Amino acid sequence: MIARSTPVSAGGHVFSPPVSRLFPLPQKVLEESPGQRYSMIMATPRPQPLELHAHAMDNLRYIRQTIERAGSFTAVPGLGGVLMGSTALAAAWAAGPAARGGRWVAVWMAEAILAAAIGVAGSAWKSHRASLALLSGPGRKFAAAFTPAMAAGALLTAVLFQHGMTALLPGLWLLLYGSAIVSGGSASVRVVPLMGFCFMAAGAAALLAPAAGCVLLAAGFAGLHILFGTIIAVKYGG
């Protein structure tokens, strides 16, 4: 029997070769030394990253919900509109027929200033309830589109009154006020431009039939404000 020599290292320590070198194994195996073990931290599977498609869908869902919330809000005050209609009804009774001239115009000018104050206060209150700034988002867009037609109406009022054409003022006011609402309400809920079109129709009728101008003026600024103000207050939160 041939004795196998045991290898000795230079320091005198006995070096034991792996068992697989002394005795052949029937199958292939992986040799593992004590210093070559894998770390359990490295072996732990990492969490799978969020798929790009799922992340994009979440972003689109958030954007759609934001647009829906913005579209359901209108800076036009419903309760303010009802109050504006009530004061317009009182102004129509106090002003009387347009034949009174200067007094009739003065009463309606005072009503316009009062209605503007009510509208601004109502919009500010409604924006505060929705935690939005008055001149941000829908409010700013409405004001930017609403103002030009109203400025044109103020200028034409002075010109027509100077020339004694007060009979045309009811139709002019209704028509330009309606066009201002249509322009301002283009980025708002559907009922707002619909209200504007109704004012424009009343204004066109008043221009075609000046004799009915005062009646249409009261029906527009009083009746339409109360009707659509109630709808906006009920469906769109005040």
Angle at 234 between CA 232 and CA 235, to 5 degrees: 65
Q: Of the candidates 13, 17, 137, 118, which has an alpha carbon nearest to the alpha carbon of residue 71?
A: 137
Residue-averaged pLDDT of the chain: 78
* Predicted local confidence at residue 110, as pLDDT: 95
Q: Cβ(191)–Cβ(231) under 8 Å?
A: yes
For residue range 61-119, list pLDDT tens digits in order. 767 655 555 554 566 788 899 999 999 999 999 998 876 678 899 999 999 999 999 98
- For 60, 169, 183, 219, the CA distances from 145, given in Å and listed in that order, are 29, 22, 5, 24
Encoding tokens for residue 15? Answer: 């070096």
For residue range 197-235, list pLDDT tens digits in order. 999 999 999 999 999 999 999 999 999 999 999 998 888
What does the domain layout of the chain look like in residue ranges? 75-235
List, in sequence order, every beta strand (DSSP E) within 5-153: none
Judged against a pLDDT cut of 90, whether residue 149 lies above it is answered with yes
* Predicted local confidence at residue 208, as pLDDT: 96
Encoding tokens for residue 16? Answer: 């034991």
Residues in the chain: 238
Judged against a pLDDT cut of 80, whether residue 3 lies above it is answered with no
Return the percent helix, strand and coil in the chain, to nearest 5: 70, 0, 25
Give the predicted TM-score (pTM) of the model: 0.69
- C-alpha 92/C-alpha 85 separation (Å) is 10
Encoding tokens for residue 160? Answer: 């027509």
Q: Cβ(171)–Cβ(209) under 8 Å?
A: no
